Structure 1
Amino acid sequence: MEIIKLSATRRQESGKGPSNRLRRTGNIPAICYGKGLEAFPVAVSPKALLEVLKSAHGKNSVIELAVEGSDKLTVMVRDYGYHPISRELVHADFLQVKLDQPVDVEIPVRCVGKSKGVAGGGILQQIFRNLPIRCLPEKIPALVEIDISELDLGDTVKAGAVPLPEGVKTRLPEDQTVVVVAIPEKGEEGAAAAPGAPGAPAAAAPAAGAKGAAPAAKGAAPAAKGAAPAAKGAAPAKDAKKK
């Protein structure tokens, strides 16, 4: 891995007010800390830091941080934050690391190839999108690829079988499932929509007189040409003469 160079200046003030004033000058507040290193505040360029985060290794990049008036530090980005609206970087934390001492990080996992099981109706389930690993800082891979071409229905890839470069070890148990081609449950694929469910076709009403059609309700008036006769016992019209 190529070590990226980044410059920083020490901050004399801390707190919300000074941090906001610092951001208006085009820099953002950050802090450096590590084992045997007393934490101290610095200021860095958000544009320069963003270039680091956009690089192949992203947050796992190893950085040579040149702090004005201090010795250079070998660090990694431990944390950073964005403004919720502008999405601009607003702060960062740098952790000092030693090139001869292993670090714990997570790297992206990418599946490549077309699984035989998926072609046969299986469902590819990637349990881990990021794989926790341990290795020396300069040996951190940008990502790990898993070839799923030979995976059939029900096949899995365990953590112990994930291909990793020499000197890189996963921090997961060896029998931990990372990828599986799951067998779909009965009716999971191609099942017809239940009546009344969104998108299900409405049942057609039976034609009049068709076999199985519901009989007319007892007492219903028969269809007749013209107005239907008054029901027996109906009240007389208001203008009728009394007998």
Structure 2
Amino acid sequence: MPVPCTMKNPEALISIFLVVLNLATGALGQDVSGMTLAEELKGLEPGPRIAYTRHLIREGRDDAEVFFQLAVAYHESSLPDSAIRYYGEAVGRDPDHFKSYVNLGVLYDDRGDLHKAEKNFLAAVRVNPDDVLANSHLAFMIFQQKRYDRAWVFLSKALELAPDHPQPMFYLAIFFWENKMFREALREWEKVVDVAPGSYLADRARENIVLLQKALNDPVPTGDTKPIR
């Protein structure tokens, strides 16, 4: 729950005062005129960003971007209910707000709500048909619902758009694993490690490579072990 700005909560008032003063005078002496809201807020912790964007809304600002930035701050503060609410406010004001749809898809996926995640990733692809991540995530949401032909439409599009991008490679490996094509899965996860060695996906790929090598060494590999997403 956001902290109300009253004299009983001076920290909230101080946060808004400092942010407003900083933005009004220019951070570190820089001129903020002509900057986007995202540029103005860059480098600030989520708390002050929440305070300032809520201040802007109370002052009458009503565009999609201010609600998006508020949602991002809540998202980064691990407050998913508030993040979902304000991403929704953003797309309500701009039905083509691509980043809000993607982030809503991520949040609903985290909750295990595949249908709502699919709906939002599909909306993102409608707005930007050539986005690799949106196509990849949409494919995986559909795949988990066992609609394999439909999932392949979007994953193949992502692979066509960016053959060396680690995200569609990672999901392709899971597709292979689930179809007991273990050597093909191993090849894709090894490619993920090669193209993005320091990434979160590479860490997950390495864990899956270990699991997969155990499966391959089993005289009768069953594939019952589930890969790490």
Q: TM-score range by the shorter chain?
A: under 0.3
Higher relative contact order (CA 8 A, sep 6+): 1
Q: Which has the higher strand share?
A: 1
| More helix, by proportion | 2
Structure possessing the higher radius of gyration over alpha carbons: 1
TM-score by length of 1: 0.25
